[in-house]
Structure 1
Amino acid sequence: MRHDGHTIASDAGTIRIEGHALAAVVVAAAELVDGARVRRPKRGLDIQVEEGRVRVEVELAARYGAVLPELGAAVQRRVAEALRSSSGLVVAAVDVSIEELDP
């Protein structure tokens, strides 16, 4: 999967936020949602950054018994908030795919 990074240029120089750092933010935020686990964090996650806007696709496993639409929406909110606050990027979309259930 793709993990784009982001470069911020200013008069003081540049700051590069690597794709793997953004991926770590996404995984940590998603897994803060009770009942959610990121499936295969290295392959089940896609991050695309273009012109200061980020689009994320994340594959999840959900705990059995979770209300899946609510779980997906909670992950979307948590990931978007974490990316905005940690990177300053505009979040274009967080697409969630619930691929399996954990017992």
Structure 2
Amino acid sequence: ENALARGRRAFSVAETAISPDHKLLAYSVDADGAEHNTLKVRDLTTGQDLADTIPEVRGGAVWSKDSRWLFYVGRDPSKWGQKVFRHRLGTPT
């Protein structure tokens, strides 16, 4: 059983992207089957997720060349992504 899915009725990993420096993994999850994806970042050295969590994304993310920024499409109230956002790792969302 997948540890992330344990105890959930529905769960899927929607998209993944490894950072250019190969140290981080950005991944978006749908934790309830409603396609309300949350973007998370995992340190591949420690296996731990960082505090960076971005709710309501559409699809996955793209890394900047220096592995410090994530670009993603946010969802509007109609549930369609309409705007590209950027997030600097280690800052509040």
Q: Same fold (TM over 0.5)?
A: no
Structure number with higher relative contact order (C-alpha < 8 Å, ≥ 6 residues apart): 1
Structure ranking higher in strand proportion:
2
User: Which TM-score tier does this pair reach, normalised by the shorter chain?
Assistant: 0.3 to 0.5
Q: Which has the larger radius of gyration?
A: 1
